[in-house]
Amino acid sequence: MKKQITPLTSKYEDACGSRSSAVSNEPLPDADANKGKKKHSGDSFRIRMLIFVFGAIVGLGVFAGIMYFTQDKDADAKKEKRRYSSSYRTSSNRSSSGSLGDFYRTKDDKKDDSVFNDPGYTLPENISSNDLSGYTIILDPGHGGRDTGCVFPFDSPQYNECDFTLRIAKRVEQELTSRGATVHLLRTDNSWVSLYNRLAQTHLICLDIAQEQGILPFSEERADELRDLLWQNIYINEDTVASGGMGIMVGSGVGEDLNDLFEMEYKLEKVLFLSIHLNSSETRTLHGNQIFYVTDDSVIESENRQMNENPEYQRSDFPIREAYYGRHNEDNFLLGCCLYDNIVGNIPDFETNGTPVNSDNYAVLREHGLTGALVEVAYLSDDNDREMLQQDQVVDQIAYSISDGVKMYYLQKDI
Ligand SMILES: [Zn+2]
């Protein structure tokens, strides 16, 4: 059933409007009291004077109260707006995307089940329900097994990215599931799962959803044919061209098989892909949360560059195909903003000194047609980030924030 949800921005404008009309409807000082001032006769005059003074005091009190209330609220709103707008000032994509990311939140909407001690933890304004039933989120805990991801300390590792990403992803899964979403975890333990295995799993999940919803853009026989091809990636479970583990995703651009899958996935509006990672800075100067997403342009630009630089891409048997077009570029950016906005709004320590929301060419986002984001939760190389990532309360907070980010995205999209 389609839920009627008004986008956050227009709800906020409505709220401003109702405050204005409330001011104009308040009773003004009694106009008759002014007339009474001109009558200088006995009891009638004294009674009129008393009414005037009383009316004036009440009127001034009401006026002062309204002024205090509206100024306080407006100042809060402006402060919040500045805070969330400024988050994107350094994003290279900000200028082309208008008001995306200008979200609001209010201290009045405190979340009841917050386990975090930060009293400022709030849901975004007008999120009246956490309900995510009907939505599917594919969660990819980065790395695992022989691929530890980034480590710290660099020379004698004690902390591995793959352990953090699994723990966070499982907590996010728990939170999303509790809100009614269907969640698929692409890695459930500390084992090696190749990138193209994860992508094949993603396509298979999408084939099932599209088939279930009766929106396959091709025949069921074609769906089974594609399933057979994708299962090859899972059996081989390697990321090299030589192993065959890349399957229908090998090469640049989109082949016919992948194109069919993309066409199907572009239509799955209620399915999102989130890859969970930690970042690392060799110079240890960077910290905080960053979100990455793909656009047609970012992928094609990067593919062309690699084609010129990478000898593997220049092999005669390496498929060079049509470029990638048709992604939901703006949706990917919007999702990135919603995630960053909530993570940093709820965990201020994770405000990055790098670029918050970035477009790039990540295979894990490139090789499917779903709207998605890669969440670099924080920097393992930063002492404060690392210390926080080890706290249960912070992991809870990350799970709440990512789930709220997903909800905010769907509220903005009104789907
Ligand atoms: Zn990673």
Distance 278 CA to ligand 1 centre (A): 5
Distance 377 CA to ligand 1 centre (A): 10
Residues 16 and 165 in one domain: no
Please tell me the predicted confidence (pLDDT) of residue 299.
93
Distance 365 CA to ligand 1 centre (A): 13
The radius of gyration of the chain from alpha carbons, rounded to an integer in Å, stands at 27
User: Is residue 290, in this structure, part of any structural domain at all?
Assistant: yes
Distance 254 CA to ligand 1 centre (A): 25
Distance 312 CA to ligand 1 centre (A): 23
Q: Write out the two tokens for 209.
A: 């959803």
Residues 235 and 318 in one domain: yes
Distance 376 CA to ligand 1 centre (A): 7
Distance 249 CA to ligand 1 centre (A): 21
Distance 150 CA to ligand 1 centre (A): 6
Residues 122 and 48 in one domain: no
Distance 295 CA to ligand 1 centre (A): 20
Residues 301 and 353 in one domain: yes
User: Is residue 329, in this structure, part of any structural domain at all?
Assistant: yes
Residues 270 and 350 in one domain: yes
Q: What is the pTM of this model?
A: 0.72
Distance 238 CA to ligand 1 centre (A): 17
Please tell me the predicted confidence (pLDDT) of residue 183.
98
Distance 392 CA to ligand 1 centre (A): 21
Residues 333 and 202 in one domain: yes
Tens-level pLDDT at each residue, the chain (415 residues):
332 222 222 212 222 222 222 222 222 233 333 333 333 444 555 656 555 555 555 555 555 444 444 344 444 433 333 232 223 222 222 222 223 333 323 223 333 333 223 334 344 554 557 899 999 999 999 999 999 999 999 999 999 999 999 999 999 999 999 999 999 999 999 999 999 999 999 999 999 999 999 999 999 999 999 999 999 999 999 999 889 999 999 988 999 999 999 999 999 999 999 999 999 999 999 999 999 999 999 999 998 888 888 887 778 888 889 988 999 999 999 999 999 999 999 999 999 999 999 999 999 999 999 999 999 999 999 999 999 999 999 999 999 999 999 999 999 898 8
User: Is residue 99, in this structure, part of any structural domain at all?
Assistant: no
Distance 381 CA to ligand 1 centre (A): 13
User: Is residue 369, in this structure, part of any structural domain at all?
Assistant: yes
Distance 149 CA to ligand 1 centre (A): 5
Residues 54 and 181 in one domain: no
User: Is residue 2, in this structure, part of any structural domain at all?
Assistant: no
Distance 269 CA to ligand 1 centre (A): 26
Distance 279 CA to ligand 1 centre (A): 6
User: Is residue 15, in this structure, part of any structural domain at all?
Assistant: yes
Distance 141 CA to ligand 1 centre (A): 9
Please tell me the predicted confidence (pLDDT) of residue 84.
29
Distance 24 CA to ligand 1 centre (A): 56
- Beta carbons within 10 angstroms of residue 309's beta carbon: 9
Range of the domain at 80: 8-86
Question: Cα separation of 85 and 82, whole Å?
Answer: 5
Residues 166 and 75 in one domain: no
Residues 337 and 202 in one domain: yes
Question: Cα separation of 331 and 372, whole Å?
Answer: 8
Distance 386 CA to ligand 1 centre (A): 14
Distance 277 CA to ligand 1 centre (A): 4
Residues 208 and 257 in one domain: yes
Distance 384 CA to ligand 1 centre (A): 19
CA distances 230 to 58, 224, 237, 258, 348, Å, are 75, 10, 11, 10, 41
SS (H, E, C) 73-131: HHHHHHHHHHHHHHCCCCCCCCHHHCCCCCCCEEEEEECCCCCCCCCCCEEECCCCCCC
Distance 367 CA to ligand 1 centre (A): 17
Distance 356 CA to ligand 1 centre (A): 16
Distance 364 CA to ligand 1 centre (A): 11
For residue 380, which phi and psi values (nearest 5 degrees)? -65, -25
Question: Cα separation of 140 and 170, whole Å?
Answer: 10
Q: Are 308 and 393 in contact (CB under 8 A)?
A: no
Write down which residue in 30, 54, 86 finishes a domain.
Answer: 86
Write down which residue in 86, 115, 136 finishes a domain.
Answer: 86
Residues 17 and 65 in one domain: yes
Distance 146 CA to ligand 1 centre (A): 13
In 3D space, the residue among 264, 262, 318 whose CA is nearest the CA of residue 294 turns out to be: 262
Which residues on adjacent β-strands are paired with residue 140?
275
**How many structural domains is the chain composed of?**
2
Question: Cα separation of 412 and 182, whole Å?
Answer: 20
Please tell me the predicted confidence (pLDDT) of residue 350.
97
CATH number at residue 343: 3.40.630.40
Residues 18 and 140 in one domain: no
